[in-house]
Chains A and B, each alone.
Chain A
Amino acid sequence: MEQPKVFIYALSTCGHCKNTKRLLDSHNVSYDHVDVDLLPREEMKKVLEDVRKVNPQTSFPTILIGDKTIVGYREVEIMEALGL
């Protein structure tokens, strides 16, 4: 089965965001991510609008796996969404 597309909206300072990246790395899952806190202001605002559309609380990490959105470091849900 092909791996669904994975994208993480993260903060560079957040432990749960780092745990999410570590979990994916340990299972050789490829993903893209953005550390929102490091973005220039205008770009940050645009990205935050995108986060809010899938997670009204605009919290981190917000993880997109295929068409699913997972909010927070939820290992079981992440693995399920990946089919692992």
Chain B
Amino acid sequence: MSNAEEMYERLKKVNEPKGYFFSDNQALTMELIEGLLVNKERYGYMCCPCRLASGDRENDKDIICPCDYREQDVKEYGSCYCQLYVSKEWLENPESRRTVPERRPAEKMAWFGWPSGDA
């Protein structure tokens, strides 16, 4: 099994009992898991592949997957921002699917204006 396949199985086992499922777009799911692995290698922690990490763990801690926004987004939209985790209802009702807007406060992206910039 590849690293991504192993991670898929591991995350599925932990998250499904909590009501968080992978989407039915298997190709997208595997791309996102590959992205998580890239970020783990790049930053040392599994940052959301759909957001730009600063590299400063403290600043990025809200977007370490599963992010702080998953619960609210899945509750409201049936899917997390990335569409990695979705609800059972989302899976059963394709017509209800919508683009999930970014809920993370804009100021969390202020790091690129930091003087040293080397977060």
Using a CB–CB cutoff of 8 Å, the interface residues on chain A facing chain B are 11-19, 36-37, 41-42, 44-45, 48-49, 52, 56-60, 71-74
Contacts and interface: CB of A to CB of B under 8 A. Distances in A.
A52 B108 CA distance: 13
B58 to A, nearest CB: 18
Contacts of B36: 13
Given A15-B83, A72-B102, 5 more contacts: A37-B52, A44-B112, A60-B50, A72-B101, A73-B99
Contact of B52 (A15, A36, A42): A36
A82 B106 CA distance: 28
A59 B102 contact: yes
B49 A13 contact: yes
Contact of A41 (B99, B109, B113, B118): B118
B82 interface: yes
Given A14-B35, A15-B35, A49-B112, A60 B52 contact: yes
How many B residues are at the interface, by size bracket? 20 to 34
Question: Top 10 nearest A-B pairs by Cβ distance?
Answer: A13-B35, A13-B49, A59-B102, A58-B109, A48-B112, A14-B50, A45-B112, A72-B99, A15-B28, A57-B106
Contact of B50 (A15, A44, A56): A15
A11 B117 contact: no
